[in-house]
Chain A
Amino acid sequence: MNTEESTATSDPNLDPPCDPEDALIEIKDFNFFYGTAQALYDLNFDIPEKKVTAFIGPSGCGKSTLLRSINRMNDLIDGAHHQGDIIINGHSVFDPLTEVISLRKRIGMVFQKSNPFPKSIYENVIYGLRVSGRNKKGELDQVVMESLKGAALWDEVKDRLHESALGLSGGQMQRLCIARAIANKPEVILMDEPCSALDPIATGKIEELIHELKNQFTIVIVTHNMQQAARVSDNTAFFYLGKLIEYSTTENIFFNPKQAQTEAYITGRFG
């Protein structure tokens, strides 16, 4: 199909998967620019609490830009600016009174490539607490155990907590990064291609973990792996050329998408 011709299709929220009262994250009239280049166009949708929401779409569609706007990671890019708002739990992330460091504790992030600090496993998990000045050993020990258990890593590392995190396997490092994120008890965990560097077994463990974590946290995941989006997410948003093309339950998106572009993309007929 000619995707260019049908870009400006109809309402992407034909079948919204999030009731307004369940929304934890509200994206309102959101536009984003890298200098003069517009990357996101008029995004309006809600992300529900304690669900997994997947952002899918081809490279350059804006899904990572939107993810990184949620915890203001894009502030670090020269010339980047936005219009509109992203509201989490009733508070704008762009409010001048919002303190960015505390925002990023409320909104944890897991990256494509695991990025443990060159410190012990223990110190990696409690890094955020140390930065906040929390140093009571009993409390820290408890957080380390709970976070590593929450990240399904405790049994594998409990006997070597004070060894370097850099000695872990790729999959273990990624789960350590998840433990580090949940140690701060965030409201939201953002995941940017968290399994793209992992083998199928490590990927399976992360997917299992995501399924467990949604009982406690709201998760937004960007993935190029559509099977992964289908397996782990409750709702899926499909983006193309900076626009939200369709947003619905994952079952609807992958079984009976309403938009021709979504159908073309997920069936591999794109372009």
Chain B
Amino acid sequence: MKRFFHSELDTLKSHLMLMGEKAGDAVKKSVQSLSDKEVELADAVIDGDDEIDALEIAIDQEATRYLTLRSPVASDLRLLTVAIKASHDLERVGDEARNIAKRARKLLLKSGLSGDIYHIPQMDLLAREMLRMALQAFLHEDPEKAYAVLDKDEEVDQSNRENVKAFIKEAKTDPNEIKRCLDLIFISKSLERIADHATNLAEEVIFLTTGKETRHNLEV
């Protein structure tokens, strides 16, 4: 028997998917502003972050209301706890995209951005792919897809380490490049954090669908 309030969970899920799409789009535009040297794209990401923040609040309120009024248990209860945590992760993805956009904007306006950006475009692609897979795993309640996200995180971490090495080397070679290199290191770190948030989301999906805890390398 489907109860009248079960549709509220569908609404909650659709809001979470929308938030994920907006956050992923913000990441794409923020890196694109850097690689295509388009300040307007960076501005759009900075301005659009409020929408992602508003969705986080809406999702939290919807989940809290459901917890208050509908006495959820089992998978419904897990969905709500996951939704609250996932909305926070996606909000952080939006914040990291805004941070990338702010640094990209600064780099473009100050120096016009010359030089290599190393693995940043690949990290962008991989982090967004992880985010997309985690959201699909959430939508279809697919733990296999969620586990696949966890396997990709090391690849992003490795790219970040290589970026850091390369930018430090450049900065040592030419101290005039220290500020540029630092900004690019922070951008690389933001992408690495975005992949971490996608990993968190995937771990939350594994918990939602199987009840198993995989955070902090625990499998309970």
Binding site for B on A (CB under 8 A): 201, 204-205, 207-208, 211-212, 227, 230-231, 250-251, 254-255
Nearest to A207 among chain B residues (CB) is B3
Q: Name the distance in Å between A203's Cβ and chain B's nearest Cβ.
A: 11
Q: Name the distance in Å between A52's Cβ and chain B's nearest Cβ.
A: 12
Assembly CA distance A231 to B1 (angstroms)? 15
**Bitwise interface map of B from 66 to 79 toward A, beta carbon under 8 Å scored 1, else 0:** 00111100000000
Assembly CA distance A208 to B1 (angstroms)? 10
Q: Name the distance in Å between B7's Cβ and chain A's nearest Cβ.
A: 12
Q: Which residue from A201, A205, A212, A231 sits with its C-beta under 8 Å from B70?
A: A231
* B-side contacts of A205, CB under 8 Å: 1
* Most chain A CB neighbours (cut-off 10 Å) among B3, B69, B70, B71: B69
Q: Which residue from B4, B64, B71 sits with its C-beta under 8 Å from A230?
A: B71
Assembly CA distance A250 to B65 (angstroms)? 10
Q: Name the distance in Å between A150's Cβ and chain B's nearest Cβ.
A: 16
Assembly CA distance A201 to B1 (angstroms)? 8
* A-side contacts of B65, CB under 8 Å: 251, 255
Q: A230-B70, A250-B69, A254-B69 are in contact. List 6 more A-B contacts (CB 8 A).
A: A204-B1, A208-B3, A208-B4, A227-B71, A231-B5, A251-B65
**A-B contacts, 18 listed (Cβ < 8 Å):** A201-B1, A204-B3, A207-B3, A208-B4, A211-B4, A212-B4, A227-B71, A230-B69, A230-B70, A231-B5, A231-B71, A250-B69, A251-B65, A251-B69, A254-B69, A255-B64, A255-B65, A255-B68
* A-side contacts of B5, CB under 8 Å: 231
CB of B71 within 8 A of CB of A254, answer no
Assembly CA distance A26 to B129 (angstroms)? 59
Q: Name the distance in Å between A54's Cβ and chain B's nearest Cβ.
A: 11
Complex interface residues of chain B between 69 and 105 (CB less than 8 A to chain A) = 69-71
* Most chain B CB neighbours (cut-off 10 Å) among A201, A205, A208: A208
Assembly CA distance A221 to B64 (angstroms)? 24
Q: Name the distance in Å between B122's Cβ and chain A's nearest Cβ.
A: 46
* B-side contacts of A208, CB under 8 Å: 1, 3-4
Assembly CA distance A230 to B5 (angstroms)? 12
**Bitwise interface map of B from 1 to 32 toward A, beta carbon under 8 Å scored 1, else 0:** 10111000000000000000000000000000
Q: State the 4 A-B residue pairs at the shortest beta-carbon distance, nearest first.
A: A227-B71, A255-B68, A211-B4, A230-B69
Nearest to B64 among chain A residues (CB) is A255
Assembly CA distance A204 to B130 (angstroms)? 40
Nearest to A253 among chain B residues (CB) is B68
Q: Name the distance in Å between A148's Cβ and chain B's nearest Cβ.
A: 19
Assembly CA distance A13 to B1 (angstroms)? 37
Assembly CA distance A114 to B70 (angstroms)? 26
Assembly CA distance A204 to B6 (angstroms)? 12
Nearest to A256 among chain B residues (CB) is B68
CB of B1 within 8 A of CB of A230, answer no
**Bitwise interface map of B from 53 to 72 toward A, beta carbon under 8 Å scored 1, else 0:** 00000000000110011110
Q: Name the distance in Å between A201's Cβ and chain B's nearest Cβ.
A: 7
Assembly CA distance A227 to B71 (angstroms)? 6
CB of B3 within 8 A of CB of A230, answer no
Q: Name the distance in Å between A112's Cβ and chain B's nearest Cβ.
A: 21
* A-side contacts of B69, CB under 8 Å: 230-231, 250-251, 254
Assembly CA distance A254 to B71 (angstroms)? 11
Assembly CA distance A223 to B1 (angstroms)? 22
Assembly CA distance A106 to B71 (angstroms)? 33
* A-side contacts of B64, CB under 8 Å: 255
* A-side contacts of B68, CB under 8 Å: 230, 251, 254-255
Assembly CA distance A255 to B69 (angstroms)? 9
Assembly CA distance A177 to B100 (angstroms)? 64
* A-side contacts of B1, CB under 8 Å: 201, 204-205, 208
* A-side contacts of B3, CB under 8 Å: 204, 207-208
Nearest to A255 among chain B residues (CB) is B68
